[in-house]
Amino acid sequence: MGPNNKAAARCCSESPSRANLALIDEFVAQSTAGDATCTKYRTHLLEFARWCEHTGCMDLLEVRTGQVARFMAYLRSGNRFAAAKHHRVAQSASGATRKNVRSSLCRFYRYLESVELVPKNPVLAVESPKARHTPGLVLTAEEVRRILEVPGQPRERVQVYLLTYTGAREHEIRQLRWQDIDFQNQTMLLRGKNYKHRVIDIHPRLMVELRRWLLAQEEHACANAHVRAAKSNADTDFVLLTSRGRQLSHSVIIKQLKQRAARAGVRCIKTADKDNVSAVHPHALRRTFGTLLLNDGHHLDAVADVLGHASVNTTRKHYAFSSTERRRDTIHGLPL
């Protein structure tokens, strides 16, 4: 191994300086973003800090625009020696990845500028990489019905109904408590990202499932002290509880949805060492919810409100894909 390669390998195994780590920790701690986003920020910033120190810039407060531009070029190089070991790849980072990294750096330096630790944000003058937008997985109405109707455990069933009939994010249904559901007015409170909560109407089919699940959970509580204790406190009385009386985890919801979709034979992928694995995940149901509503002619702003998007542009970008039928109906609907 040559001296340059040895230095790069040493860079990968070392943490950034204590001062740089403190800046990163401070930024992440003050962020109101979700856990996954904060993890992404930390990953990007640690790689940037290691790269800076490897190239001679030992203080993140001294970074200039030229260094940010060179770092963006490094991401395209196919030799990301400063990345954490499990993120290291021997290929150029995609436009989407580089765009995300630049966004993390920009937010970091925007914060440092706001607390007067740097005179200006050095990232602003670096052009944002262009990323090709690829539509995510959207199911057909028939595929969704198959997932809903396949046999399964009661809690698994209500999870899928919640995701399907609310368009909620996975973490929003995990945080749903019984006190958030107004059975009389048939509405529910969803706790969104960055403390942005919203109230949505409950679909009649979902209302039936929620009433059925509430009775089942209360019966379970009579025989299970853990569930009984959780339900005795409004703050821990989650709609989705484990048998230990704990809030259902992110991984369990994903796993059970994939298993249910695989049993229904929806979007299955054959693997060498496993049975059929489904590509369906919680966000696919959210995306399907929004797309089906838009394709059915519902107003963009109304769908954006239900999905909890701060801007209709988000809904338009990720959900408003024109189907063949919509394009045909648009032409045929010309009032001439």
Residue 264 belongs to a domain with what CATH number?
A: 1.10.443.10
Q: State both tokens at 138.
A: 């959207």
Residue 87: predicted pLDDT: 53
Same domain, 166 and 76: no
The reported pLDDT for the residue numbered 50 is 94
Evaluate whether residue 130 is within a structural domain.
no
- Answer yes or no: is 120 within a domain: no
CA-based nearest residue to 100, from 43, 140, 160, 185: 43
Question: DSSP E strands: which ranges in 166-310?
Answer: 181-182, 187-191, 197-201, 268-269, 277-278
pLDDT at 92 over 90: no
Residue 132, in any domain of the structure: no
* Residue 41 reports pLDDT greater than 50: yes
Q: What domain range includes position 76?
A: 3-114
229 pLDDT tier (thresholds 50, 70, 90): very high
Q: What is the pLDDT of residues 14-30, one digit of tens each?
A: 678 999 999 999 999 99
pLDDT at 330: 62
Q: How confident is the model at residue 233 (pLDDT cuts 50, 70, 90)?
A: very high
Rounded Cα gap, residues 168 and 307, in angstroms: 7
pLDDT score at 129: 86
Considering the domain architecture, whether residues 107 and 33 belong to the same structural domain is answered as yes
Is 321 in the same domain as 273? yes
- Would you state the pLDDT for residue 334? 60
For residues 163 and 21, membership in a common domain is answered with no
92-106, 177-191, 293-307, 311-325 — which is least confidently predicted? Answer: 311-325
Domain boundary among the residues 79, 114, 149 is at 114
Does residue 123 belong to any structural domain of this protein?
A: no
User: Quick check: is 98 in a domain?
Assistant: yes
Between the alpha carbon of residue 218 and those of residues 4, 178, 213, 224, 331, the distances in Å are: 64, 12, 8, 10, 54
Q: State the Cα–Cα distance between residues 90 and 73, nearest whole angstrom.
A: 14
On whether residue 119 sits in a domain, the answer given is no
Collapsing DSSP to helix, strand or coil, 152 comes out as coil
Is the same domain home to 209 and 278? yes
Query: Could you tell me if residue 126 is inside a domain?
Result: no
In this prediction, residues 222-226 reach a mean pLDDT of 96
Q: Does 125 fall in a domain?
A: no
User: Residue 94 has what pLDDT?
Assistant: 85
Would you state the pLDDT for residue 4?
47
Residues 9 and 80 in one domain: yes
Same domain, 106 and 154: no
- 207 plus 300 within the same structural domain: yes
Average pLDDT over residues 146-151: 96
Side chain identity at residue 278, one-letter code: S
> Tell me, what's the pLDDT at 321?
61
Average pLDDT of the chain is 88
Check whether residue 104 and residue 145 sit in a common domain.
Answer: no
> Are 7 and 78 contained in the same domain?
yes
Q: Are residues 152 and 51 in the same domain?
A: no
Q: What pLDDT, in 10s, does the model give residues 171-217?
A: 999 999 999 999 999 999 999 877 789 999 999 999 999 999 999 99
Domain count, the chain: 2
Same-domain check for residues 147 and 294: yes
When pLDDT is cut at 50, 70 and 90, the band that residue 276 belongs to is confident
